[in-house]
Structure 1
Amino acid sequence: MKEKVVTAYDKLAKDYEKHVDTESGHNAYYERQAMMKLMPNDMNSLTVLDAGCAAGWYTEQFLKRGAQVTAIDLSPAMVEACKRRVGYEAEVFACDLTEPLPFKNETFNLIVSSLTLHYIDDWAPTFQEFHRILKPGGQVIFSVHHPFMDFKHFERPDYFAHELLMETWNKKESGPVEVTFYRRPLQEILNVTSDQFIIDQIIEPQPDLAFKDKPHAMDWYKRWYDRLSTNPHFLIVKARK
């Protein structure tokens, strides 16, 4: 599975670097807007881990708010894209979230993981490591595929199954790319999280019309606003140690 994820996201790295910020509405105008509402405006005193940094959009936002940021990703090509974006302002390197993390106990005030954890089969070891490296009172905020969306979109026969799915993304730079990920029911997401953390908020994002006039956004809103207003696509969890 790791090899499949690396292969896919190495191929997708140029698309994330060049196009996702403006042309992928599900990222730029939906998930990111909901996630950033949960972040403090002033992050000057915070150490932050961007766990699954991709091409570095979140890394850059945290730096702009004054945080000391470490960014990690399984894909070497994504790591290089993130480095091109933020230069030496953040520590950026390849790292596997399913393995013991190379950080001391109680290193971070905040761990943010955007649309990454559904590529991991067993969350328990990862969340144990997140708990270990978070400072007391530290927060973890993550987004994943909404289990309802996966169940409905892929027409699965058993909502309660924990299973591997695949779809093909066709992007400008990469062409067709096979992407594999895991789906799991809501109770599993919440129970595994609450084994290590206190859950503060569950967010099922809806698109915000305040962003519809941004460049490139109007066509996406026309296609997706009604659907995402009534059918959640992602799920966000905010929890604390």
Structure 2
Amino acid sequence: MKERVLEAYTKLAKDYELHTDSDSGANAYYERPAMLELLPTDMSGLHALDAGCAAGWYTEKFVSRGASVSAIDFSPDMVEAAKRRVGSQAEIQVHDLNEPLPYGANKFDFVLSSLTLHYIEDWDPLFREFQRVLKPGGTLLFSVHHPFMDFTVFKRPDYFVRELLVDRWTKKEAGSVEVTFFRRPLQEIVNMTSSWFVLDQLVEPRPVPEFLERLPESADFYQRILHHPHFLIVKAHRP
């Protein structure tokens, strides 16, 4: 599984660097605006971890809001793209989230993970690590595929099982890319989070109007995610 994820995101790195910020409705005009609403506008003096940073969009947002930022990603190509974006303004390194985090305890005020955790089968060791590196009262904010979306779009027979699914994306730079991820029911997402953290909010985002202004050719997708949840956002804190 790890090798398949690495292969996919090595191929996708250039698309994330060049096109996702403006051409991906699911990211730019759907998930990202909803996530940003849950972050402080002024993060001066705070430490933030971007866990699964991809090409560094959230890393840059943390920096622009005044935070001291660390970022990690499984893909060396994504890490290089993130470094090109923010330079020396953040500490960025390659790291596999299936392994212990390379940070001391009580280091971060915020841990953010955007559309990454569905590539991890077992969340228990990772959430233990997130709890360890967060300060008491620190925030965990993450987004994942919505269970309703995975269950219906992929026409699965049993909602309650955790299972590996395969999708195929077509991108400008990479062409056709096979992407694998884990589907899991909502109760598993909520119960796993609340076993390590205090749950604050569940958000089922809706696309912003700018989506249609920028991407009129994606009107069908806009209408679908306007009425059917595609991603799920979870905000929690370390007790």
TM, length-normalised to structure 1: 0.96
1:225 to 215, 222, 227: 222
Q: Which residue number in structure 2 is paired with residue 149 of structure 1?
A: 149
Q: Which residue number in structure 2 is paired with residue 112 of structure 1?
A: 112
Deviation at 1:196, TM superposition (A): 0.3
Deviation at 1:98, TM superposition (A): 1.0
Distance 1:213 1:158 in 2: 34
Q: Which runs of 5+ in 2 are unaligned?
A: none
Distance 2:173 2:212 in 1: 26
Contact 1:74 1:96 in 2 (8 A): yes
State the one-letter code of the partner of 1:73: D
Distance 1:30 1:168 in 2: 20
Q: Which residue number in structure 2 is paired with residue 9 of structure 1?
A: 9
- Indicate how the Cα distance of structure 1 residues 117 and 212 shifts in structure 2: closer, same or farther if over 3 A, else same: closer
Q: Which residue number in structure 1 is paired with residue 173 of structure 2?
A: 173
Q: Which residue number in structure 1 is paired with residue 234 of structure 2?
A: 237
- Deviation string 1:182-232 (CA, Å, 9 cap, x unpaired) is 0000000000000100000000011122x2476x33433x23332112100
Contact 1:29 1:217 in 2 (8 A): no
Distance 1:25 1:227 in 2: 12
Deviation at 1:160, TM superposition (A): 0.3
Contact 1:22 1:217 in 2 (8 A): no
Distance 1:217 1:40 in 2: 28
Q: Which residue number in structure 2 is paired with residue 198 of structure 1?
A: 198
TM, length-normalised to structure 2: 0.97
Deviation at 1:36, TM superposition (A): 0.4
Q: Which residue number in structure 1 is paired with residue 127 of structure 2?
A: 127
State the one-letter code of the partner of 1:75: S
Deviation at 1:170, TM superposition (A): 1.2
Residue correspondence of structure 1 range 55-70 to structure 2 within 5 A: 55-70=55-70
> How many residues get paired?
238
Distance 2:215 2:171 in 1: 18
